[in-house]
A and B are shown apart, each in its own frame.
Chain A
Amino acid sequence: MSSEGIFKPQLVGIICNWCCYGGADLAGVSRFQYPPYLNIVRVMCSGRVDMKHIFRAFLNGADGVFVGGCHLGDCHYITEGNYDALNMVQLSKKILELIGVNPQRLRIEWVSAGEGIRYANIMNEFLKQVEGFGPLGKGEGLDENELKVKLNNICKLIPYIKVTEKEKLKVRKIDNDEDHNSLFTLDEVDKLLNEVVSYYIDPAKCQACMTCARRCPADAIISAKGQIHIIDQDKCIKCGTCFEVCPPKFAAGTKLAAGEPVPPPVPEGERTVLRKSKEQAAN
Chain B
Amino acid sequence: MEKEQITKLLSNNFAGNNFGDVMIVGGGISGIQAALDLGTAGFKVYLVDKAPTIGGHMSQLDKTFPTNDCSMCIESPKFVECNRHPNIELMTYSEVDRVEGQAGDFKVTLVKKARYIDETKCTGCTTCVEYCPVVYPDQFNQGISKNKAIHIYFAQAIPLKPYIDESCLYLKEGKCRICEGICNNNAIDFNITPKQVVVRVGAIILSPGYEPYNPKLRGEYHYGEFVNVVTSMDYERLLCATGPYEGEILRASDKKHPHKIAWLHCVGSRQVLPGGNSYCSAVCCTYTQKQVILTKDHDADATCTIFHNDIRSYGKDFERFYQRTEKLPGIQFIRSYASIVKEDPVTKNVTVRYATFDEGIKEEEFDMVVLSVGLTPPADAGSLADKFGIELNEHGFCKTNPANPMETTRRGIFISGAFQGPLDIPESVLTASGAGAQCGELLDYRRGNLAQERVYPPERDVSQEELKVGVYVCHCGANIGRIVDVPATVQYSLTLPNVVHAEESLFICSTEAAAMLAKDIEERGLNRVIVAACTPRTHEPLFRDTLREAGINQYYFEFANIREHCSWVHSKEKEAATQKAQKSIRMSVARARLLEPLQEFTLPVNKNALVVGGGVAGMTSALSIANQGHHVYLVEKEQELGGIARRLHYTLDGLDVQAFLHDLLLKVYQHPLIHVFNGATFEEASGYVGNFVTKVKSEGRVTEIKHGAIVIATGAEIYQPTEYLYGEDERVLTHLELEEQVVKGNEQVVSAKSIVMIQCVGCRNEDRNYCSRICCQESIKNALTLKEINHGMDVYILYRDIRTYGFKEDYYREAASKEVRFIRYEPDYRPQVEAGEDDDGRPVLKVVVPDPVLNKTLELDADLVVLAAAVIPSERRKEITQLFKVALSPDEFFQEAHVKLRPVDFGAEGIYLCGFAHYPKLLSETISQAYGAAGRALTLLSNDTVVAPGSVCEVDVSRCMGCGECVSACTYGAITLNQRSKKAEVNTVLCKGDGLCNAKCPPGAINLKHYTDEQLLSQIDACFSDLEEIRL
Q: Is the CB of B1023 within 8 A of A12?
A: yes
A84 to B995, CA, bound (A): 12
Most B CB atoms within 10 A — which of A17, A34, A77, A84? A77
Q: Are A217 and B960 also in contact (CB < 8 A) when A25-B564, A239-B1002 are? A: yes
Chain B min CB distance to A40 (Å): 6
**What B residues does A39 contact at CB under 8 A?**
580, 583-584, 587, 1023
CA–CA, A252 to B1027, complex, Å?
A: 45
Residue in A closest to B584 when the chains form the complex, CB atoms:
A39
B566 on interface, CB distance cutoff 8 Å: yes
Contact of B959 among A61, A166, A217 (CB under 8 A): A217
Residues of B contacting A85 in the complex (Cβ-Cβ under 8 angstroms)? 999
Q: CB distance B1021 to A56 under 8 Å?
A: yes
Q: Establish whether residues B881 and A62, one from each chain, have CB atoms under 8 Å apart when the complex forms.
A: no
The contact string, 1 if C-beta is below 8 Å from chain B, for chain A 31-61, is 1111110011111110111111100110011
Which of A108-116, A146-154, A259-267 binds B? A108-116
Contact partner, A49, options B576, B587, B999, B1001, Cβ 8 Å? B999
Q: Quick one: which of B69, B881, B996, B1016 contacts A74, CB cutoff 8 A? A: B881
A53 and B1016 contact, Cβ closer than 8 Å, known pairs A24-B564, A81-B996: yes
Write out, one digit per residue, whether chain A residues 3-21 have a CB within 8 A of any chain B CB (1) or not (0).
0000010101010011101
- A174 to B232 Cα, complex, angstroms: 53
Contacts A19-B887, A28-B565; A62 near B1024 (Cβ below 8 A): yes
* Selected contact of B965 from candidates A36, A114, A166, CB within 8 Å: A166
A27 to B910, CA, bound (A): 26
Bound-state CA distance A273–B561 (Å) is 60
Instruction: Tell me which of B888, B959, B1019 contacts A41 (CB under 8 A).
Output: B1019
Q: Does A139 contact B (CB under 8 A)?
A: no
Q: Contact between A215 and B887 (Cβ–Cβ < 8 Å)?
A: no
Residue of A nearest to B957 (CB): A217
Contact B907 A114 (CB under 8 A): no
Complex Cα distance A12/B584, Å? Answer: 11
Residue of B nearest to A62 (CB): B1024
A73 lies within 8 A of B881 (CB): yes
Q: Which residues of A lie under 8 Å from residue B516 when comparing CB positions?
A: none
A14 to B958, CA, bound (A): 29
- Decide if A96 is an interface residue (CB 8 Å cutoff): no
A10 adjacent to B537 (CB under 8 Å): no
Question: Do B1017 and A56 have beta carbons less than 8 Å apart?
Answer: yes
Indicate if the CB atoms of A115 and B1024 lie closer than 8 Å.
Answer: no
- Chain A residues with CB under 8 Å of B583's CB are 39
Query: Across the interface, do A115 and B958 meet the contact criterion of CB distance under 8 Å?
Result: no
Contacts of A27 in B (CB 8 A): 564, 569
Point out the residues of chain B lying under 8 angstroms from A115, CB to CB.
890
B895 touching A112, Cβ below 8 Å: yes
Q: Encode contact with A along B534-556: 1 for CB under 8 Å, 0 otherwise.
A: 01110000000000000000000
Verify B895–A53 contact, CB threshold 8 A. Answer: no
Assuming A53-B1020, A113-B895, is B969 touching A79 (CB within 8 A)?
yes
Contact B565 A114 (CB under 8 A): no
Complex contacts, A253 vs chain B, CB 8 Å: none
- With the chains together, A163 CA to B889 CA distance in Å? 39
> Chain B nearest CB: distance from A54 CB in Å?
9
User: Is the beta-carbon distance between A78 and B881 smaller than 8 angstroms?
Assistant: no
Extra pairs beyond A47-B969, A47-B996, A241-B962 (12, CB < 8 Å): A29-B564, A30-B67, A36-B570, A48-B999, A53-B1013, A57-B1024, A75-B885, A79-B994, A81-B995, A162-B1002, A239-B963, A241-B961
24 contacts between A and B (CB under 8 A): A12-B1020, A12-B1023, A12-B1024, A28-B535, A29-B68, A35-B570, A36-B569, A39-B1023, A40-B584, A44-B995, A45-B994, A45-B996, A48-B1011, A50-B1016, A53-B1020, A77-B996, A81-B969, A81-B994, A114-B890, A159-B1003, A160-B1002, A170-B1000, A217-B959, A219-B959
Question: Which B residues contact A (CB, under 8 angstroms)?
Answer: 67-69, 297, 535-537, 561, 563-566, 568-573, 576-577, 579-580, 583-584, 587, 686, 878, 881-882, 885, 887-890, 895, 907-908, 951, 958-963, 965, 968-972, 982, 992-996, 998-1005, 1008, 1011, 1013, 1016-1017, 1019-1021, 1023-1025
